[in-house]
Structure 1
Amino acid sequence: MTFVHWLAGQAGQTFASACVMTILVLMLFMAMKLYKSYRRNQTHLVLIIVLPLIIIQNGVLISLSDPEWSASPYLHIGYSFVSLLSFIIINFVFMKLYTGPASRLKGMPFFLMAIGLVVVTAAQIAYKPEMLSGPIAPGGVDLLALDFYGLILNFIILLNLRGVDQRINYQTSLIVYFVYQLSDMADSYVFHGEKPMLLIFIHLLPIVYYTLLFLLLFEWVLERLMMTFQSSITDGLTSLYNRRHFNKKAEQLLRDMKRIAIIFCDIDNFKKLNDTQGHHKADNVLKQVAEIIKEETAGIGTAGRYGGEELLGLIAAPGVKPEDVAEAIRSRVEKETMVTISVGVSISREGTSIAEIVSQADEAMYQSKTTGKNKVTLHPSVSQKRPRSESEGSKRSKQA
């Protein structure tokens, strides 16, 4: 027996189904972890239910490759029914996972698909009741209605992927399954097992299909892990590092670069803006200022939100004057937003901690705040020079 005939025969089917079952067990493990981690989400529970169903389905498929078992009409009909039912359910799950909140996926269409499956199965049996009366001939059982309904289901889902993330990858998996369905029908109704290469194709395509589903699920898990990590280190409103992670990042840069500078920015009269313009307007202004600080420190340091309207910039690049960066930030905020900021700058010295550097920058900012606002002040430890006041254009600055 050649390798081609081995793959095309019962051994090839067993090998392919075993591979699929292994992939499904891995997916089941992931689904159980998701169910525990995401407050027992019902979508994950449905996935936990349908995956064992597909594993059983592949076990039945292995049985059908044995001549003794393949003579049972009930096994053939049961396999086809479970196969299509699991296809409906697993596609509901994956579309639910990858559909954003803006386009809510409803379960009713999938429920109607399942009802349609029951109707088609009943009609198939009613049309040919004799198929249940005796053993199946070696050529197999004619379940054309169910096979055709499976193609229709796939086609309907393919045409309704609007609003689904990872659309191309998901489409690819459905196309692979569609090709598998067509190949299986071609073998059942045209070639009758006479084309070994077609049989190999039919055996291997489910492996490709469930591998693609596994990768989709794995990617979804990775995205959620990244989102969870990102939310733990950034401020939800400004997308800057939160205070805890900023301090951690600053300590790392201080160890690596030996010298860093902190730019402490406080929005002038922010409480008044909140009271008169409302929280929504104030939040938008805060985001604008945060974006300016983020842009000005990009490539030379980092930025974070210290609390409330207090935002920090960190400069770690050698050769860059932090007071120049601070003035660029102040100037841009004045020109591009409806507010001004008071800024303080402090530079690390040997033996100083991050808390001390931030505290010094805060003191310098307070000096700016109490001597006219909308200016940059260096901490005395940095320079004994007079605080940098606003430029001529700043004198015509907006009142905060």
Structure 2
Amino acid sequence: MTLSDLLSGKALPLISDLIVLVILSLMLVMSIRLWQDRRKRAYRSLTVSICIVMAHYGLQLYFHLAEPASGAATYWTSVLKIVSFLLVNMGVYQLYNPTLPRHRVLFVFFLALTFAVSLLHVFVPHWFAGTEAQERLLQDIGLELYLFVLIFLGFYLISPFIGQTGKYQAALTVYFTGHIAHVLNQYVFGGEQTALGLLEHVLPIAFYFLLFMLLFDRVVELMHAIYSTSITDGLTRLYNRKFFDKRVTQYVQRGYPVAVMFSDIDNFKKLNDTKGHHVGDEVLKQVADILRQESEECGVAGRYGGEEMVVLVTDPAVNIAEFAEHVRRRVESETTVTVSLGCCKIRRGMTAEELIRRADEAMYKAKTSGKNKVVSYG
């Protein structure tokens, strides 16, 4: 069998359906894992939708391998194609958005409309007097045109509300092109155009591959978000205490000449009591932004608890006392508060816990000896 025979013969739809089923199987594995790990309704819906799409392609595969499908079998295959398209796009939407009651109502409406349009399959033979082949083509024309409507609704209703708009629009464009090829080949050229037949069976592979990549990227986004949440403070977006301590320990154990700066916002409790916690939160974020900016190229900044923030300076070229003084001046000039800072550079035999404690003690000394100053340990 030559490549030309393969691309133009009966093997092409068989190969196409098999490849799509493999892609859908990979998507199913990922959606099940998401459902197991996060127990959200969206992932359960996505899992169900992928199963129904697989049922559609499994049915098509059965008809390719067995006897040609009867009129009733063709009808249910066409209906299942529309339902699976609705479900998989609803699943994509749910990956990024909560499912509200109005969304379920809208989905049920389009599902009901699908079955209403499919009734043309029953009534066309009574309305149209033609050959059996002509009647069979016209029986499903309503569903074919209705699918175009659903594709355009996907662009309008779903695309603006998901995080990977470009990839989703590319997938819909591919699906739209494949469906145009199918309609032209069946209703204009009688299934005799090899090029259109090739597009009709190859483009669904590209469509589901793009959806697979969209789902894969979403899984990566969720994993990154979970990891980020586990190591950062929710308010300031600085690293949390557990992660900061771990990084200090790693650097100290490897013998790097690191230093730690400990900071505390002066009179923060009074600020909260007189101005309110929302003002206090804004001040925390302002100070955190300064620490993040200053430490971006030379270390790691973290929130140690309350109004206490810390910086691990990993660049040996940075003078920790000068660094702390620069931070103090920026806070004083750019915010409505001041900070007391303590710093300590690691010494021979000093552990990570000692390094942090010495910087904390130096900060406490700055706090109790006038505030808005820098004190170095030793």
The TM-score normalised by the length of structure 2 is: 0.93
Decide which of 139, 153, 157 is 1:156's aligned counterpart. 153
Query: 1:228: how far off?
Result: 0.5
Is the 2:291–2:311 contact (alpha carbons within 8 Å) kept by the matching residues of 1?
A: yes
SS in 2 for 1:305: strand
3-state SS in 2 of match to 1:317:
coil
Tell me how far 1:21 sits from its aligned partner. 0.5
Structure 1 equivalent of residue 4 of structure 2: 4
What number of residue pairs does the alignment pair up?
374
Amino acid in structure 2 at the alignment position of 1:238: T
Determine helix, strand or coil for the equivalent of 1:175. Answer: helix
Does 253-262 or 308-317 show the bigger shift? 253-262
Residues 39-67 of structure 1, C-alpha deviation per residue, up to 9 Å, x if partnerless? x2111111221212111211222234358
TM-superposed deviation, 1:110: 2.3
Give the superposition deviation at 1:197: 2.2
- Bigger drift between 190-199 and 173-182 goes to 190-199
Deviation at 1:13, TM superposition (A): 1.1
Structure 1 equivalent of residue 52 of structure 2: 53
Q: CA deviation at 1:202?
A: 1.1
**Cα deviation, residue 164, structure 1:** 2.2
- Greater shift, 152-161 or 341-350, is seen at 152-161
Specify whether residues 262 and 246 from structure 1 end up closer, same or farther in structure 2 by C-alpha distance, changes over 3 A only: same
The 8 Å contact of residues 53 and 88 in structure 2, kept in 1 or not, is answered as no
Distance (Å, rounded) in 1 between the aligned partners of 2:300 and 2:210: 38
Residue type of the alignment partner of 1:58: Y
For the residues of structure 1 that align with 2:182 and 2:118, how far apart are their CA atoms? 18
Are 2:128 and 1:123 aligned?
no
The C-alpha deviation readout for 1:213-246, integer Å capped at 9, x for no partner, is 1111111111000000111111111111111111
Deviations 1:6-55 (A, max 9, x none): 222221111110111011111111111111111x2111111221212111
Please list, as runs of the form range in 1=range in 2, the aligned pairs for 1:1-400 lying within 5 A after superposition.
1-38=1-38, 40-65=39-64, 68-70=67-69, 72-99=70-97, 106-128=103-125, 137=133, 141-142=137-138, 143-160=140-157, 161-256=159-254, 258-380=256-378
Gaps of 5+ in 2: none
SS of residue matched to 1:264: strand
Distance 1:192 1:145, change over 3 A: same
Aligned-partner Cα distance in 2 for 1:37–1:48: 13
Runs of 4+ in 1 over 6 A off after TM superposition: none
Whether the aligned pair in 2 keeps the contact of 1:266 and 1:309 (CA below 8 Å) is: yes
Give CA-to-partner distance per residue, 1:56-79, whole Å, 9 cap, x none.
211222234358323x00111101
Moved more, 368-377 or 26-35: 26-35
> For the structure 1 residues 140 and 194, does the alpha-carbon distance in structure 2 shift closer, same or farther, using more than 3 Å as the test?
farther
Aligned-pair identity in percent equals 36
Output the amino acid matched with 1:274.
N
Are the counterparts in 2 of residues 242 and 305 from structure 1 also a CA contact under 8 Å?
yes
| Contact 1:98/1:166 (<8 A) preserved | no
Q: Which amino acid aligns with 1:344?
A: G
Residues 90-128 of structure 1 show CA distances to partners (whole Å, capped at 9, x for unaligned) of 101101213489x99823322211111011011342233
* Native 8 Å contact 2:137 2:187 kept in 1: no
- How far off is 1:138 after superposition? 11
Q: State the AA in 2 paired with 1:12.
A: L
Partner Cα separation in structure 1 for residue 98 and residue 150 of structure 2: 23
Q: Identify, as 1 or 2, the structure richer in helix.
A: 2
Q: Report the 3-state secondary structure (helix = DSSP H, G, I; strand = E; otherwise coil) of the residue aligned with 1:68.
A: coil
